[in-house]
Amino acid sequence: MKFILTSYIKLQLEMRMKPEMRQELVPALYAIFDTTSVEGRKGVSDGLDASGRSVFGTLWREYVKFGKWKGA
């Protein structure tokens, strides 16, 4: 999962993705965050440059705000 997340982030920096395509990928990204441990997320972050960490941070904040299951 770390490889997929890292690849997605790097591709976000290298190319422009249509908004509708990104919207279709959001559930998969949230599923990756659901299954990635804190150590795994730290490993992804550590392997990125400053631009990549910025994208990662944005993805994480969106996940916490909109995608993280909070239980009920």
- The answer to whether position 14 is within a domain reads no
What does the alpha-carbon distance between residue 42 and residue 46 come to, in Å, rounded to a whole number? 6
If residue 19 lies in a helix (H) or strand (E), which one and from where to where?
A: helix 19-35
Predicted structure pTM score: 0.86
Cβ-contact 18, 59 below 8 angstroms: no
pLDDT in tens, 1-21: 889 999 999 999 999 989 999
CB 39 within 8 A of CB 31: no
Domain holding 52, by residue range, is 2-9+19-66
pLDDT at 69 over 80: no
Whether 71 is in a domain gets the answer no
The structural domain count of the chain equals 1
